[in-house]
Amino acid sequence: MTRWLSSLLPRTLAAQLIITTAVAVILSNFAVAAWFTATHDRLIRAELMDRLVDRAASAAGLLDSIPPSERRRVTTTMSSGPWRFELTRRLPRQAAMTAVEASLAERVRTELPAPGPQGPVTVRILHGMDRATQSPRSGSILHPRRPAARLMRITVPLSGGSGLVTTFLLHADPPWPIAFVYGVLVAVITAAAVAAFAVRRVARPLSRLASAASIVAHGGDAPRLEEEGPEDVRRAAQAFNAMTDQVGRVLESQRQLLSAVGHDLRTPLTAMRISTEFIADDEVRDRIEKNLDELRTLTDAVLSAARGAGWEKRRRIDLAALVESVCADLEEMGLPVSFHPHAAMTVLCRPDEIRRAVRNLLENAVTYGKSAELSLRDEDGMAVVRIDDHGPGIPTDDMERVFEPFVRLEGSRSHETGGAGLGLTLVKTIAEGHGGSITLENRPQGGLSAILRLPREAEAA
């Protein structure tokens, strides 16, 4: 249930907070409306009944005190708005009244001046309009087109055998849900506007923080965040800026250290190679030179893997032209590499790193799979480089292990079968540094497929 409700909410913090505020306002208005309806209507009804009883008794007392010839003119003058006063010479027959009507009739009787009416006081509460209330004399007063209205008719006997009929229209108020909807709309719009203003101070800095963290995760240079917003958000931005500064200093120290190590290692290797020229024994000299070549290759591989991604600035290139040139270079060296032509495909990347990764994959395919076939395609905004070989493939259990440093699935460390086991480690570092990935798959018809996926539009430039 919770997961289903979560799926209905928008994904951004600002939208969720605004919707939550709006829902809270709606629920609170429902609660207030229910309480108001339950209490206010009772108070209004009681006050209205008091007014009806007092008005009917006062009008009857007034008419009873003036000559009968003046009564009709007075009743016409008093009739206004929802009130209508009429004289009748035929008093209604005594009929059963409801408990509410009987109670109101008794209250009218007690309000009349002594010695009281010579006859029964009757009260009728009518729902809707009847023909009697739509007379030309009273239609404009009682608004007969309101079918939801209720009428209260009080008949009080007067001296001389006549009676006063007081009719009051209990106007039907608009259904409370309509008024409630209007009020809720105003409250929701106001609350949402205030919430949007408040959320902006929180959501915008958090969104920038998330974007900056994503850039760092994809190997880009983290931008400095503005330290603004509430205290907690401002402290998060300060911590992120401090972290990126520290990471930058560490990486710069690592670059300097690796450059120094590379220089210091190459110098003695060069001196040792020169010294081997003075060795008279050809067999010994060849063995030492072979070991020095292997050591130089290992040193270069370790330095390349340690550097990883991020040394080169990103720029927009044609990936199809880049991989085609890599294949052409290897073909010129006599390696069995083929490329399926593809239209231009623009990618934002570090070209030298991508070139190194593609070359490593092609050389692995040729070394272990006899030949390499490279194809390129666009897949949901990702540039996919696929390299197929015709070798024995890799056991499923070793698919992830081959990306670990110095892992090789065969025991030989000769130049014919491989180097130090850092090629795929370097490829994975480069791919993830660009926000992409590298996967290996055994082909059903035999051989292995290496699939390099790179985002065409990287999150960091």
Per-residue confidence at 37, pLDDT binned at 50, 70, 90?
low
The secondary structure of 348-383 as a DSSP string is EE-HHHHHHHHHHHHHHHHHHHS-EEEEEEEETTEE
The predicted structure's pLDDT at residue 362: 94
The residue among 61 and 172 whose pLDDT is bigger is 61
Measuring CA to CA, which residue among 292, 261, 258, 262 is closest to residue 275? Answer: 292
116 φ/ψ sector (left φ>0, alpha ψ -120 to 50, else beta): left
Q: What is the mean pLDDT of residues 204-220?
A: 73
Short-list 206, 201, 186, CA closest to 22: 186
Q: Provide the pLDDT for residue 142.
A: 44
**What's the rounded mean pLDDT across residues 255-284?**
75
Does the structure show a pLDDT above 80 at 158? yes
Say which residues have a Cβ less than 8 Å from residue 419's Cβ, sequence separation at least 6. 297, 298, 301, 413
In 98-183, which ranges are E strands? Answer: 122-127, 150-157, 163-170
Most confident of 35-44, 71-80, 291-300, 421-430: 71-80
CATH of domain 311-455: 3.30.565.10
**Helix, strand or coil, per DSSP, at residue 267:** helix
Fill in the amino acid letter for 142: L
Per-residue pLDDT at 348 exceeds 80: yes
Q: Which residue has the tokens 């010129």?
A: 332
Domain ranges of the chain: 13-173, 311-455
Weakest mean pLDDT among 40-49, 79-88, 357-366: 40-49
For residue 458, CA distances in Å to 277, 308, 349, 461 come to: 50, 17, 7, 7
* Residue 72: φ, ψ to 5°: -65, -40
* Burial class of residue 387 in the structure, from the number of CB atoms within 10 Å of its CB (0-12 exposed, 13-18 middle, 19+ buried): buried
Task: Look at residue 144 and tell me whether its pLDDT is greater than 60.
Answer: no
Residue 295 has pLDDT above 70, yes or no: yes
Q: Confidence class of residue 308 from pLDDT cuts 50, 70 and 90?
A: low
